[in-house]
Amino acid sequence: MKEDEELEMIKYRMLKDLMKKSFEGKKQIVNKPVEVTDSNFMEIIQRNPFVVIDCWAPWCAPCRTISPIIDDMAGDYAGRILFGKLNVDENQVATTYFQIMSIPTLLIFKNGKLIDRVVGALPRHLLEPRIIQYL
């Protein structure tokens, strides 16, 4: 009986290792903005080579105007740009650290470093070139 249990444990570990190896090096393509919080902010910008974070609030009319543009661009640039949304009312640490004084503000990160910020609700034809110049 004990040998059967040991054999099952070995099979389980081997299967787990195989599954882990099959997912190594494969990034999941995200085609919509991810929720960014104080607790996952650093992980998101460090694990993804190119990130655009939309700093917004539910009561902000210009934020609601730009939201569908961000959603569309997240789909159009899936696999190349990760878009995220940071609610400034609920995430004061990141908001304070990046000195978000006006919303919407887009923070643009490349390889974990802040390289640009866009303040205000711009139409897509003005916003898109500002972001993709860094690709």
- Please tell us whether the domain made up of 26-132 is placed in CATH 3.40.30.10: yes
**Residue ranges of the domains in the chain?**
26-132
**Using one digit for the tens of pLDDT, what is the confidence trace for 43-75?**
999 999 999 999 999 999 999 999 999 999 999
The strand order across the sheet containing 34-36 reads 34-36, 82-87, 50-56, 105-110, 113-119
Whether 63 is catalytic is: yes
Q: Which of 52, 63, 106, 121 is catalytic?
A: 63
Q: Is 55 one of the catalytic residues? A: no
Indicate whether 15 pLDDT > 80.
Answer: no
Percent of all residues in the chain with a pLDDT value above 70, rounded to a whole number? 87
pLDDT for 70? 97
Out of 36, 60, 73, 82, the active site residue is: 60
pLDDT at 6: 78
Nearest C-alpha neighbor of 54 from the set 120, 112, 111, 129: 120
Answer whether residue 77 shows pLDDT above 60: yes
- Phi and psi torsions of 83, nearest 5°: -100, 140
pLDDT for res 114: 97
pLDDT reading at 26 higher than 80: no
Q: Rounded CA gap, 27 and 81, in Å?
A: 12
Decide if pLDDT at 23 tops 70. no
Check residue 1 and give its pLDDT.
57
